[in-house]
Amino acid sequence: MSSKKFLAGVVVGMTIVAAVAATTFRVGSGANLAGNQVEPTDQTQSPRAQDAPATSLRGGGWRAGEGARRELAEEDIDRVIATARDVNPEWADALEKLRKTDPAALREKISREARKLMGLSMMKEREPKLYKVRVADMRVQNQIRESSESWNAAKKNGDTAAQELTMKEIEINVRKQVELDIQARGFELVALDRSLKDASKRLQDDIRDREKLITEMLEAIRKGEDPKFGRRPSGIGSAMGGFGGRSRGNDNEPASKPASTNP
């Protein structure tokens, strides 16, 4: 797939780079790119290669889109492990084993990966095609890392033949990784464009119905109820964060339950 051809197809009608959407995926102007997708591989890599830089999380919690920290629920752990299995079955098996033998250690370990994996989990539900490409991208990245280590080892040992063979493999995967990344960013553009259009429509609806919203808030206060404050865009905090804005009434609510302060 030609990168120039791909970008030309994506740029038409797209102006902002990001990754968010909460509605059914529809490629739209980028639909003609589907036939050129790089097929994700089924190869697995070592769990070590999957390790990501640690975040500021401690105690088995994770930061949600608005920055609040909460404890990982069992269902969160299920989702994280399911996502990890798509990326690397061996990694998921190691997490499952740790879950049985040392749940506390599992939560601490997952806390370093939670934001990335929860973001991927949301992407899997909302944008399955984008998710498939991103998972393939992660796998290829790990293959490149492992091959790079093999190349360095061959260089250290003076094995020129092994160096040449390994570099050929690296070049193939580097080309594949770049194509996957470009492809994924094209999907993200389409998703964001749709999300922005939806957010714009809801904003126009609120502008039109502003007097109705004011009346509803005043009536709620008179009844002793909490008024439903207006929604606002919540920002782009993850791979598939909620850019489209929260529902009315949630503006002052925390995005997630704070982590327990108990030991």
Tell me the pLDDT tens digit for each residue of 110-158. 777 667 777 888 888 888 999 999 999 999 999 999 999 999 999 999 9
Structural contact between residues 146 and 49, judged by C-beta atoms closer than 8 angstroms: yes
Number of independent structural domains in the chain: 1
Number of helices followed by number of strands (H, E) in the chain = 9, 2
* 10-42 per-position pLDDT tens digit: 433 343 333 333 333 333 333 334 344 444 444
Structural contact between residues 247 and 224, judged by C-beta atoms closer than 8 angstroms: no
CA distances (Å), origin 17, targets 40, 65, 113, 185, 233 = 23, 18, 24, 7, 16
pLDDT for 231 equals 62
| List of residues 6+ apart from 257 with CB closer than 8 A | 68, 70, 71
Structural contact between residues 214 and 38, judged by C-beta atoms closer than 8 angstroms: no
- 34, part of any domain: no
- 148, part of any domain: yes
* 192-221 per-position pLDDT tens digit: 999 899 999 999 999 999 999 999 999 999
- 206, part of any domain: no
SS3 at position 62: strand
- 76, part of any domain: yes
Name the one residue in this structure whose structure tokens are 């606002």.
232
- Residue burial 64-84, b: 16+ Cβ < 10 Å; e: rest: bbeeebbbbeeebbebbbebb
Closest of 246, 263, 261, 262 to residue 64, by C-alpha: 246
- 42, part of any domain: no
| List of residues 6+ apart from 193 with CB closer than 8 A | 13, 14, 15, 16, 28
- 150, part of any domain: yes
Structural contact between residues 111 and 61, judged by C-beta atoms closer than 8 angstroms: yes
Domain of residue 78, residue span: 3-17+56-194
- In this prediction, residue 77 has a pLDDT band, given cuts at 50, 70 and 90, of confident
- 67, part of any domain: yes
Average pLDDT of span 86-112: 87
- 141, part of any domain: yes
What does the chain come to in residues? 263
pTM of the model: 0.55
pLDDT for 210 equals 92
Q: What is the rounded CA–CA span in Å between residue 217 and residue 230? A: 10
- In this prediction, residue 103 has a pLDDT band, given cuts at 50, 70 and 90, of confident
